[in-house]
Amino acid sequence: MKKISIIFVTLILVLKSAAQQDPMYTQYWINASILNPAQTAADGITSLNLTGRYQWVNVNGAPKTGSLSFVTMPVNRLGIGASYVYDEIGPVKSSTVNADVAYHLNVSKNWIITLGTRLSVNNTNMNLRDLSTDQSGDPMFSQNMNTGMKPNIGFGFLVHNDRFYFGFSQPRSIEYDLSSSTYMNSKILPHRFAYMGYNISLNDEIDLRPSVLCREVNYAPVQFDANLVAEFKQKISVGASYRTGDGIGVLAGISATEHLKIYYCYDYPLTVISLVSKQTHQISLTYNFNKLPRRINSPRYFD
C-alpha cells in the first residue's frame, strides 16, 4: 500500500486532470488581466502586479501559485501586457509566459468594448520519479513527463461603462497531451471564463462591488464564484467570496501609498480537505505608475 501522501497527491492529480487546470485566485478582479487579455490596461494605467497564493497550508503537495504581470497603454486605445504564471501541485509544475494585446473601442458616450488576444508559451513537468512508494515497479510512477515548450493562443472581450461590466475569455485555445503514457490520460484543456459585476456608490465615501464569475472546462462541473467588496474612501477594501464546490473567503485591502495597493485573501474550505487543512492564503501587490485621480470613472475591478 502506498503512503498516505502518495494517495493524496494521486487523488489531486486525478481531480486536476479532470477538472480545473488553470490556476485559481480569490477575488479575480485584483489581477483581471491574467484571466482575460481584454482587461489589459483597461483603465489606461501602467501597473505592475505580483500575486502569490498558498493553498491548503500544511498539506504535502498542496497547490502553490505565483504570477507577475505588467500592463500599459502606450498609445490611446491600445493596451499591451506581459505576464508570467507559475503553478505547482504535487509533482506537477507549470510555467507560462503570456503576451497580451487589447484594443479599446468607444462605441457610444458611455460604453466601451475591448477585444483582446493572447500569445503564450507553456512548459509543464510531472516529476513522478520524485515520489516515493512502497510498491516497486509501479508503471504509473516509473517515468517523468514533460510537454516541452508548447505555444498557445487565447482571446477575450470586455464590455463596460462606468458602473457595469461583462467579460468573457478563453486564455488558451489549443488542447494538448501532457504525455503519451498508456498509464495516465492527462490532457491540458482550454478553460472558459465569463464574469460580470456592478459598482454601487452608496455615498461619496462607500462603494459596493458585487460580482460573479463562471468557470467552465470539459469533463468537469461548472464552477461559480460570488464576490462582494466594500470600499471606503478608495483607501480600504473588505470583502467576502463563495466558490461552489470549494469554500468561502474574506479579503482585506489597503492603499498603502498613492501608488501601491496591498490585498490579502484568506480562504476556508468547505470540502473534505478541511479535515487536513483549514486555510489558504493569497497576497497581491499592485503598483500603479500613474498618479491616480481622486475619482476614477472606470470601474475599480480593473485594479
Question: For every one of its 303 residues, what pLDDT tens digit does the chain have, with 9 covering 90 and above?
Answer: 444 444 444 444 444 444 456 778 888 999 999 999 999 999 889 999 999 999 988 888 888 999 999 999 999 999 999 999 999 988 888 999 999 999 999 999 899 999 999 999 999 887 766 655 555 555 555 566 777 899 999 999 999 998 999 999 999 999 877 655 544 556 778 899 999 999 999 999 999 999 999 999 887 889 999 999 999 988 999 999 999 988 999 999 999 998 999 999 999 999 888 878 888 999 999 999 986 543 344 444 444
Across the strands, what pairs with 114? Answer: 104, 158
Please calculate the CA angle 219-69-44 and round it to the nearest 5 degrees. Answer: 110
Across the strands, what pairs with 224? Answer: 214
Cβ–Cβ < 8 Å for 28, 37: no
Q: How distant, in Å, are the alpha carbons of 17, 216, 222 from that of 284? A: 27, 25, 26
Query: Three cell numbers at 29?
Result: 478582479
For the domain that residue 133 is a member of, what is the CATH number? Answer: 2.40.160.40
Number of domains, the chain: 1
| Number of neighbours of residue 146 by Cβ within 10 angstroms | 13
Q: Which domain holds residue 230?
A: 4-302
Cα 64–chain centre separation: 12
